[in-house]
Amino acid sequence: MADEIDLANEQAERFLKQSLANRSTGPKLQPCGHCQNPNCELPFDAAGKDGEGHEIDEQGIRIDAKLFCDKTCADEYTELLRLRGRR
């Protein structure tokens, strides 16, 4: 039989899990054909098509699924969001 402390711990754990599941993660970025980094915004150039007919870049990544030019742009965007959150 569980005592009051065990029941309280179980309830606190359920509350924490529910809070984490319901937390806001902010707006989701949607692919739009150019880099999402506001300091870049270069359009993505297609280098060809894949087997399903989707345009792909030179690394073979689908243009319609791409958010950033490269890791540098993605990291810079993440840093901008972090700095905005500090204000």
For 10-67, write each residue's pLDDT tens digit. Answer: 999 999 999 888 877 767 889 998 999 999 989 998 889 999 999 998 888 899 999 9
- The contacts of residue 77 (CB under 8 Å, 6+ apart) are 36, 37, 38, 68
Domain edges within the chain:
31-87
- Exposure on the CB side of residue 81, measured as CA atoms within 13 A: 13
User: What are 34's two structure tokens?
Assistant: 């150019």
User: In residues, how long is the chain?
Assistant: 87
In contact, 69 and 35? CB cutoff 8 Å:
yes
